[in-house]
Homo-oligomer: A and B are copies of this chain.
């Protein structure tokens, strides 16, 4: 997907230069809010308010919700109170709450002053919930029906209140805010008798989440059940809002990006790459780099400890990178697979024995294949082709034996650490390649020198 449309950006810049506002407007109204916001953010900052004012009210609010926080702030600072009110009143409550969270205090004050009292109340309710909770990503705007309503009355209510709701396709049947059931617009539409009471056609098997449920769990539930929205209940089991599928999709993408960043030894960042400065990147990357560099002291100590042995058999040094890399790669294959399965909910801690046994079998297969290949390679390439006669078949055997043991250790460490992390409530994603590589490096060197001492010296 070409998220950036360079041709369109150029056309719009040209039309702005030529002050062809009518043509510009005609083009903009045919676009989706996500595309308009992308194009806006490629223009010069001082032109943003001008461009924004060309949009009709509803499209303007939708586009506003898609903009990056710095652009939202820029626009708000240029808005009159009247313009701000127009935008705020058109925003969905969850988008308004997101906005409030991102803006500096003085902007927040202006925004809240322009929101109507009901909206202000709802925004404040959403803001009460911790970041990454269902409460913080829900919207309080949903269609609620009473169980005693008929299908006809339900449609009347949808018509009256639906225009401001984020979805009207799932309606929630409540009594004093207790959730009794759900009824879809499809079910309502397919009813032939419009005097049927809602209570007769509603689905009473409702799956709901709590305000404090983790947002990733909510997103995975929406994805698992193919729902358009999930109802959110408070601590007293009263319905307070819904999380819609589009927000869930965003959460899934964001959380996966975070996992990937952690797996590569970075602190997760909320900014996209192009919006991160070199300093941002540095701050997110240096902690793990430094920590892992320091912990490599152990591998250094191990080598120093065997220094005299190495001086006698310098040829052994040449195989250290290969052994370390193969160990690291084997370990990260296992850890990354397990981390992903854990985060998709395919694995539980109780599966650990099965996982460990499977990894042992895989490690044996990989170990045998790799050490056979390695032996052939050392004898053919290193000894015969390169003519390095320091390498005896016994040396090759030491390397290959180390290889097998290293692969086994790597796969075991790679699969157990993430599961153990999950068990004690840590984030398994941190137990990925860099971390495991460091551990496996030290262990594989110990094995290497251990086997070498026994056989060669």
Contact = CB atoms under 8 A, between A and B. Distances in A.
Contacts of A344: 3, 253, 257
Given A189-B158, A285-B333, A377-B297, A292 B325 contact: yes
Interface in A1-30: 1-4, 6, 29-30
B189 A346 contact: no
Given A223-B250, A297-B381, A304 B190 contact: no
B296 A362 contact: no
Contacts of A345: 1-4
Nearest to A357: B278
B433 A293 contact: no
A190 B165 CA distance: 12
Interface residues of A, number: 126
A457 interface: no
What is the oligomeric copy number?
2
Given A325-B438, A346-B272, A318 B304 contact: yes
A149 to B, nearest CB: 15
B221 A333 contact: no
B336 A261 contact: yes
A235 interface: no
A373 to B, nearest CB: 6
A452 interface: no
A289 B366 contact: yes
Interface string A305-317: 0010011001101
A333 B289 contact: yes
Given A325-B293, A330-B289, A434-B329, A361 B278 contact: yes
A227 to B, nearest CB: 9
Interface of A: 1-4, 6, 29-32, 34, 155, 158-159, 162-163, 168-169, 185-186, 189-190, 192, 205, 207, 217, 220-226, 228, 245-246, 248-250, 252-253, 256-257, 260-261, 263-266, 272-274, 276-279, 281-282, 285-286, 288-290, 292-294, 296-297, 299-301, 303-304, 307, 310-311, 314-315, 317-322, 324-326, 328-330, 332-333, 336-338, 340-341, 344-348, 350-351, 354-355, 358-359, 361-362, 365-366, 369-370, 373-374, 377, 381-382, 386, 388, 433-434, 437-438, 441, 445
